[in-house]
Amino acid sequence: MRVLVTGGAGFIGANFVQQTVHERPEVDVTVLDALTYAGDRRSLDPVADRITFVEGSITDAALVDRLVGESDLVVHFAAESHNDNSLDDPSPFVQTNLIGTFTLLEAVRKHGVRFHHISTDEVYGDLELDDPDRFTPETPYNPSSPYSSTKAGSDLLVRAWVRSFGLQATISNCSNNYGPYQHVEKFIPRQITNLIDGVRPKLYGAGLNVRDWIHVEDHNAAVWAIVDKGRAGETYLIGADGEKDNLGVVRTLLEIFGREPDDFEHVNDRPGHDLRYAIDASKLREELGWTPRYTDFRAGLEATVEWYRANEDWWRPRKAAVEAKYAAQGQ
């Protein structure tokens, strides 16, 4: 099987490529990645001699057409992924998340290639802290930020291509991932690398916002379960019952680093900050038999801390610029 992985030099995509090479040696992997600020070829170093890497954009119709025409399956991770950046400049989000997904859809339609679209739980908006409900595939779309609205738009394009053109496609909407190779702009790596540097973690607002954490390897195992056994045209929600408020995550990290529980700073909140995400993944569990392996969040976090301690060369070059950008916003 020949698989084209878009965004394979990013956080989740690079973990997906590494897992695929190790667990499915029969799969022939090609990565298409534009190597934006978020992409890093070094994340693919452990498998570099076993994959084909193409530097280019998913908005390049001729390139996409050629690569899709040589594939049996496309797994589409490429995106602008950071909410804070989308508040600063939405333009690349519209280009990559909407135009890029459209460009891929036209190519898979032409060549009759199976397509899996990676999306986010943020398309459903947010929940109150005390809401007994969680997101399901039937929850109405209600995105809040330029990032989540472009992801919602890309999901709707996929659904329309399924209905109108009979595309063989599936969609997954996953909650917040953590694990190795995540960019230091994101919450958990930012706090881990701050703590390694002896800097206090930074909490947006009161820190009461809730995210539903899942280890990146569990996300990627679910993606393969959907590709292998999912029904075309269906949407599957991926989550591992990992709801935690941001303050709780920071306190766990402080404990891992042997620091006092209140040794953090409150900084400016994110405008429009979604309060809570929570996933009901029963369709994925019951229909496809998927279960997460990383059920102990603290243990997963400790392993992630160890990875950042051991891979300072990987994250250090980006840290100062990320912190300068946050500092300019009072964050």
Binding residue (CB under 6 A) for ligand DAU from 76, 114, 117, 211: 211
At 138, the amino acid letter reads E
Binding residue (CB under 6 A) for ligand NAD from 9, 51, 113, 152: 9
Which one, of 77, 15, 27, 75, lies nearest residue 52 by Cα? 27
Query: Interface with ligand NAD includes 150 (CB under 6 A)?
Result: no
Q: How far is the CB of 328 from ligand DAU (least distance, A)?
A: 14
Query: Interface with ligand DAU includes 186 (CB under 6 A)?
Result: yes
Query: Interface with ligand NAD includes 174 (CB under 6 A)?
Result: yes
Please, which residue, 151 or 276, has the CB nearer to ligand NAD? 151
Please say if 49 is a catalytic residue. no
Query: Interface with ligand NAD includes 77 (CB under 6 A)?
Result: yes
Q: How far is the CB of 12 from ligand NAD (least distance, A)?
A: 4
Q: Following CA atoms 269, 274, 278, 279 in sequence, which dihedral angle do they give, to the nearest 10 degrees?
A: -130
Query: Interface with ligand DAU includes 141 (CB under 6 A)?
Result: no
* Dihedral over Cα of 153, 186, 179, 276: its sign: negative
Query: Interface with ligand NAD includes 33 (CB under 6 A)?
Result: yes
Please say if 234 is a catalytic residue. no
Binding residue (CB under 6 A) for ligand NAD from 4, 21, 44, 100: 100
Q: Give, as one character, the DSSP assignment of residue 223.
A: H
Query: Interface with ligand NAD includes 171 (CB under 6 A)?
Result: no
C-alpha span between 94 and 272 (Å, rounded): 19
Q: Which two tokens stand for residue 273?
A: 């900050």
> CB under 8 Å to 279, separation ≥6 — which residues?
121, 134, 135, 173, 174, 175, 212, 237, 238, 239, 241
Asked whether 231 and 194 are in contact (CB, 8 A), the reply is no
Q: How far is the CB of 143 from ligand NAD (least distance, A)?
A: 12
Which one, of 123, 70, 79, lies nearest residue 101 by Cα? 79
Q: Which two tokens stand for residue 275?
A: 């309060």
57 binds, among ligand DAU, ligand NAD, none (CB under 5 to 8 A by kind): ligand NAD
User: Which one of the listed residues 121, 243, 274, 323 is annotated catalytic?
Assistant: 121
- Applying CB under 6 A, the span of 11-19, 64-72, 159-167, 227-235 interacting with ligand NAD comes to 11-19
Q: What is the largest CA-CA distance in the chain?
A: 58
C-alpha span between 271 and 95 (Å, rounded): 22
Between 54 and 93, how does the x/- string for binding to ligand DAU read (CB under 6 A)? Answer: ---------------------------xxx----------
114 binds, among ligand DAU, ligand NAD, none (CB under 5 to 8 A by kind): none
Query: Interface with ligand DAU includes 120 (CB under 6 A)?
Result: yes
How does DSSP assign 276-326, residue by residue?
B--B--HHHHHHH----S---HHHHHHHHHHHHHHTHHHHHHHHHHHHHHH
- Which residues within the stretch 235-274 sit at the binding site for ligand DAU (CB under 6 A)? 246, 270
Please, which residue, 7 or 292, has the CB nearer to ligand NAD? 7
Binding residue (CB under 6 A) for ligand DAU from 18, 209, 220, 235: 209
Query: Interface with ligand NAD includes 35 (CB under 6 A)?
Result: yes
- Applying CB under 6 A, the span of 17-25, 34-42, 244-252, 315-323 interacting with ligand NAD comes to 34-42
How does DSSP assign 139-198, residue by residue?
SPP---SHHHHHHHHHHHHHHHHHHHH---EEEEEE--EESTT--TTSHHHHHHHHHHTT
Please say if 147 is a catalytic residue. yes
Q: How many CA atoms lie within 13 A of 187 on its CB side?
A: 24
Binding residue (CB under 6 A) for ligand NAD from 3, 4, 5, 11: 11
Which of the residues are catalytic? 121-122, 147
